[in-house]
Amino acid sequence: MSYLDAQDWGFPIPIAYGPGRLKEIASFCSASGMTRPFVVTDRGSAGLSFLQDLIGYLSTAGMQAALYSNISPNPRDVEIYQGRDRYQEGGYDGIIAIGGGSGMDGGKAIALLATNELDLWDFEFGQIPPDMANHPDFPPLICIPTTAGTGAETASTAMVTDTDKHMKWCVWHAKLEPSFAILDPEITVGLPATLTAWTGVDAMVHAIEAYCVPGTNPLCDALALEGLRLINRWLPTAVKDPGNIEARGAMLAGTCLAGVAFQKGLGLVHAISHMVGAEYDTQHGLTNAILLPAALRFNAPEIADKVKPMAQAMDLSETSFQAFFIKVCDILDDVEIPRTLTDIGVPDDGIKRISEKALKDSAAATNPRSLSVSDIEAVLKEALTVGR
């Protein structure tokens, strides 16, 4: 397949892939039943050209859209409630979630609350989901990633910070499903090299952690390996040759595959990263990238049977854990990921507190090696001081 060609894919939701597909946004809104879209993005994206283009395309089609951009890099519960209020006060009838992981998480979390008066944490992943039979349907939702990283565009899951507990939780509901995802590589061309690297390694972590989750899910495993293959092949090119549309497109596809794959679960990297991000507001993909080597070393005894397929997906002839590990670290070096959490300003005085919170994260439960607080403390200390 050429990643320069437009394609429409029907799994796991309708996906419109191809350069320039953002121009079709009005037709996607009409197809999903929207006439007054509520556009949600993060503060960092609010002034970027793709937002102006999006609003312009909607306006040309006669659609009155509003923009809500009060979403932090690590979305907060108070921002979600404010977005819900704006949606209800304005009489909007659908949500376009556009941006990196934070913008899409913000939009999806607002969609969970937009047509009801429920509490956000009623939708927390570990809880019994609310019975929506006596509530209006969730609004139509269109997701548009502007980075090749989170892969969050095909599911309703969203990570939100609980500002009372300083913890990140996953919220979702099975009945909230995006009507469309739009993967337009042209949107990602202007992404700085640092964010291209950080979000790209985030996708690599998704593929690796999803594949290493215990249990049998051949669908997710196959998607994880193909996602890893694409990311390994195209991430360095996307970082060093940012105008390369084929690289940008292949990264969006690989990221999407890895995002679907982690419906199987994630692991130790994300369990720690969620809580570090909630406390210190670090960039999620960058935090994942730095944590990955220490987590791989910890999990090595339990992922021996997983290493060979991952090494082969990364085009390695030597398929030992050491060869795979070195390849992962080489990619981190190649795209200039800092070596330790200390390098990005994470202090070393909260190791026990972060570790206790991380053990409560849903990703800890699907890590291939069972975890204790002391295990997580050791990995976190290693990521703070040694890294790779």
Per-residue model confidence as pLDDT tens digits over 230-247: 999 999 999 999 999 999
Query: For 198-213, what is the mean pLDDT?
Result: 98
The pLDDT > 90 percentage for the chain reads 96
Residue 47 — very low, low, confident or very high, per pLDDT cuts 50/70/90? confident
User: Both ends of the chain: CA-CA distance in Å?
Assistant: 35
Q: How confident is the model at residue 9 (pLDDT cuts 50, 70, 90)?
A: very high
User: What are the structure tokens assigned to 17, written together?
Assistant: 């892939």
92 by Cβ neighbours in 10 Å (0-12 / 13-18 / 19+) ranks as buried
- Render pLDDT for 140-187 as a digit per residue (tens, 0 to 9): 999 999 999 989 999 999 999 999 999 999 999 999 999 999 999 999
Q: Which structure tokens are listed for 206?
A: 């998704």
Query: Which residues make beta-bridge pairs with 94?
Result: 37
Output the average pLDDT for the chain: 96
Judge contact between 144 and 182, C-beta under 8 A.
yes
CB within 8 Å of 62: residues ≥ 6 apart:
none
Question: Are 258 and 210 within 8 A, CB to CB?
Answer: yes
Read off the DSSP letter of residue 124.
B
**pLDDT, average across residues 261-279:** 96
pLDDT band at 56 (very low <50, low <70, confident <90, very high): very high
What percentage of the chain has pLDDT greater than the value 70? 100
Residue 126 banded pLDDT, cuts 50, 70, 90: confident
All domains in the chain, ordered by first residue: 7-187 (3.40.50.1970), 190-385 (1.20.1090.10)
Q: What tokens appear for 219 in the block?
A: 């669908």
Structure tokens that stand for 277 in this block = 């991000």
Give the pLDDT mean for 249-278: 97
Is the confidence at residue 2, as pLDDT, over 90?
Answer: no
Q: pLDDT of 290-324, one tens digit each?
A: 999 999 999 999 999 999 999 999 999 999 999 99
Beta strand 94-99 pairing with 141-145: parallel
User: What is the model's pLDDT at position 144?
Assistant: 98
Task: Quickly count helices (H) and strands (E) in the chain.
Answer: 14, 9
Residue 291 neighbours by CB distance under 10 Å: 25
Band of the pLDDT at 75, cuts 50, 70, 90? very high
Full-model pTM: 0.95
The first and second tokens of residue 308, run together, are 């060979």
